[in-house]
Amino acid sequence: MKIKTLSCVVKRAENVGIIEQDVQYDDGDQYQTLIRLSRGGICGSDLHYYQHGKVGNFAVKHPMILGHEVIGRIIKTNSPNLRINQKVAINPSKPCHSCKYCLSGEINQCETMRFFGSAMYNPHVDGGFTQYKVVDNTQCIPYPEDIDDEIMVFAEPLAVAIHAAKQGGDLKGKRVFISGVGPIGCLVVASVKALGAQDIICTDISQRCLNLALEMGATKVLHANDDFSEYAQHKGEFDVAFEASGHPSSIERCLEVTKAKGTIVQIGMGGNLPNFPLMTLIAKEINWKGSFRFVEEFNTAVNWLASNKVNPLPLLSATFSFKNFEDALKTAGNKNDISKVQIIFS
Ligand SMILES: [Zn+2]
Ligand SMILES: [Zn+2]
């Protein structure tokens, strides 16, 4: 079976377009499901490809379909566990299932992960901003018919946030600090709350983002320029800090306000840190942990959204048809006024 499909591609920096391709589905193919995509969310990495033609060292070398936060309906499948027309969230991870990390269950560390919309490999891995796509059966996570699409599109970024929250250990009754409350930081707020954190104190340079953090469950917010000395006394007040901005001053602040032997979870991606306060890390015996993508938390995220444990809708700022793809990217790039932008494919 062959279907014509339109896809949103990036060719190089600020050069995007819509291309028509054929998507091929063969019933005999193993473990394959054909999806008609309904909606997608624009993520920071999609924006990076658009604005700079690369993410980190991974430059776009040929047209690549963007997008890894997508949901859709099943058109065809050979899985006994899935059915035609079922609504599914698509897990954008495609691990190899055979490297040492995959075999030990740490699939987010897969040595040859094929992640949607990534220029890490050449040829690049196409993403989900397209009308039709063939995916592995295991990438399809069904969700109830009555859950709105605009909610379920948050499954992927919420999975990132839940995975990060879990790096902080048992959060029940804990005092938590979150520095940087863009969409991911705000979803970390909701996640640590759902996991039982008692105090959730957030900071950012944007008052709009701080207001969103309050809506998502923060108990208190402070502007980045406010006085934090009360939280730095006694070698710090917080059990766990989440650094979600990547800015050196934010990393420094996390080290100041996290108590001795506490944990800092690093989510924000930044550049070099020439003046990194190494001595604070050593002397306070801080656990500084990275957090990257997710494993089974994708299924947890689908469950939490389907059961209304987390309401992500305060973070949705605008919705566009995929035909206005470039306008959607430009709008998403306006960080002062905009959080999440979604694209509709059908
Ligand atoms: Zn994302
Ligand atoms: Zn692997």
Mean pLDDT by 10 residues, the chain (346 residues): 95 94 86 95 95 92 97 96 97 95 96 94 96 96 98 98 98 98 98 98 98 98 97 97 95 97 94 86 97 97 98 98 97 95 94
> Do the domain assignments include residue 46?
yes
What's the domain count of the chain?
A: 2
Strand partners for 343: 40, 320
| Centre of ligand 2 from the C-alpha of residue 10, in Å | 27
| Residues whose CB falls within 8 Å of the CB of residue 315, separated by 6 or more in sequence, listed in order | 154, 183, 186, 187, 212, 216, 339, 340
Q: Which CATH number does the domain housing residue 334 bear? A: 3.90.180.10
Instruction: Tell me the CA–centroid distance for residue 229 and ligand 1, in Å.
Output: 34
Residues 149 and 168 reside in one and the same domain: no
Residues 127 and 173 in one domain: no
Q: Looking at residue 245, which CATH number applies to its domain?
A: 3.40.50.720
Boundaries of domain holding 281: 161-290
Domain co-membership, 209 together with 280 = yes
At 272 the pLDDT is 77
Is 299 a member of any domain?
Answer: no
Which residues place a Cβ less than 5 A from the ion ligand 2?
95-96, 99, 102, 110
* Amino acid 38: pLDDT: 98
265 part of a folded domain:
yes
CA 53 to chain centre: 20
289 touches 167 (CB < 8 A): yes
Task: Classify 340 as helix, strand or coil.
Answer: strand
- Give me the residues paired with residue 135 across strands: 33
Distance CA(51)–CA(332), nearest Å, equals 11
Same structural domain, 105 and 216: no
Together in a domain, 117 and 54: yes
Q: Which ligand is nearest to the CA of 49?
A: 1
169 and 95 housed in the same domain = no
Specify the DSSP class assigned to residue 118: B
Give distance in angstroms: CA of 119 to centre of ligand 1: 14
Query: In terms of domains, do 237 and 316 share one?
Result: no
pLDDT at 223: 98
> What separation in Å is there between the alpha carbon of 299 and the centre of ligand 1?
15
Beta-bridge partner residues of 77: 33
Find the ligand nearest to 104 CA: 2
pLDDT of 26 reads: 86
